[in-house]
Amino acid sequence: MSGAETTESPTGRFRTTSAEPGPVLAVLAGVAFWGWLVTRWLNDWVLARIGVGPGAGENFVPRGPFDAAAASVADVSAGLGVVGLPIEWTATLLSTVAIAIDLAPALAGAAWYTIVLTSVSIILGFFIAVPLAVLRVYGGPLKWLALAYTELIRGTPLLAQLFVLYYGLPLAIWLQDAPLVGYGSIPEQAFWIAIIGFTINGSAYQAEYIRGALESVDEGQLTAARAVGLSQYDGIRYVVLPQTLRYAIPAWTNEVVYLIKYSSLAAFITVPELYYVASDIAAQTFEYTAIFGLLAVVYLGIVLTATKLMDRVESRVAVPGIGRAEGRKQGDA
């Protein structure tokens, strides 16, 4: 038996749901990952301040027993030669767990910077990208301004843009003198400059995704909107864009994943995000393999979560016939 079940959907269509263990394991992994992150943030930002729990930045469990177990298993493995290779792997695993215990508080704090940097940049970039895309398609002579902006940003490295914003312009000085910046839980000026840089960079890519989706909408729909009395602006606003933004969601997912990974470039202007913290600790401990392996796990957890969330958004806003790809197929039928 495959374990598959057939159920009736709210639309009356029958669909097959899988009882395979993969989705269940994925949900459990997600719960464990976000349970750790949220618990860590709650402890460091709330409980530690009122004297509850192990304290901000302190380990939930002691590292010592895992180090001792790893050393004991390694001694046993050394006496067995080649035969002891699987035991040596066990020692390596125990040693990695010990490193993970030590690294967990720092990675959780850095993950917050990475998540906020990515989320805020995507949202702010969206409000720049939509007018840019509309100008590219319907802007007449103004489309050249949108094209120049897009090509300038896409044609230059993100790292160079961050360096210009941080070192070449007086933004860092202005932000340093701004009230509250760098005080308490408010990040330093480098973080805000990184948000500006990622917003500008992301808006150019988002604009191209939206432009492609705009051009996929039948021109006749805008003509029909004009025929019923809507202005060109209202036709774009109420007829074309609602379809366009749905079409662009898969490309947006790609942009979100891109920004999550490339947020590591913010480390070069001293933003304490994931890569910055991990590389700093690795440089002190020389445990590069284990630390960057754990770093990859955290990035993967954030990326898979973002991908799943975007998939859920796509499903929620899909309209049969004009929504996601499968919806369009239904419309064709």
**Quick one: what percent of the chain has pLDDT higher than 90?**
47
How far apart are the C-alpha atoms of 29 and 122, rounded to whole Å?
26
Tell me the pTM.
0.84
Average the pLDDT over 195-219 and give the result. 92
User: What ranges do the domains of the chain cover?
Assistant: 110-317
Q: What are the tens digits of pLDDT across the range 96-128? A: 999 999 999 999 999 999 999 999 999 999 999
**In what helix (H) or strand (E) does residue 5 lie, and over which residues does it extend?**
strand 5-8
Lowest mean pLDDT among 19-28, 155-164, 255-264: 19-28
Closest CA to 59 of 104, 22, 89, 27: 104
pLDDT for the residue 2: 44
* 5's tokens: 């079940």
More confident residue, 248 or 12: 248
What token pair was written down for 274?
A: 């994931």
* Least confident span in 25-29, 179-183, 193-197, 240-244: 179-183
Mean pLDDT for 36-42 is 94
CA gap 17, 249 in Å, rounded: 24
Q: What is the pLDDT of residue 40?
A: 93
CA distance 113 to 270: 12
Banded model confidence at residue 41, pLDDT cuts 50, 70, 90 = very high
Could you tell me the CA-to-CA distances from 104 to 2, 134, 136, 280, 295 in Å, in that order? 39, 44, 46, 14, 10
d(Cα 236, Cα 136) in Å, to the nearest integer? 13
- CA gap 95, 101 in Å, rounded: 10
- What does the alpha-carbon distance between residue 121 and residue 158 come to, in Å, rounded to a whole number? 13
| Average pLDDT of the segment spanning 173-189 | 82
Write the pLDDT tens digit of every residue in 268-310.
998 999 999 999 999 999 999 999 999 999 999 999 999 999 9
Cα separation, 71 vs 4, whole angstroms = 46
> How confident is the model over 136-150, as a mean pLDDT?
91
Domain 110-317: CATH architecture, name and number where available? Orthogonal Bundle (1.10)
Quick one: average pLDDT of 215-244? 87
Q: Which residues pair with 16 in a beta bridge?
A: 6
Rounded distance, CA 160 to CA 158, Å?
Answer: 5
Long-range Cβ contact pairs of 58-66 (< 8 A, separation 24 or more):
58/105, 59/101, 59/102, 59/104, 59/105, 60/101, 60/104, 61/101, 62/101, 63/98, 63/101, 63/102, 66/94, 66/95, 66/97, 66/98, 66/101
3-state secondary structure of 330: helix
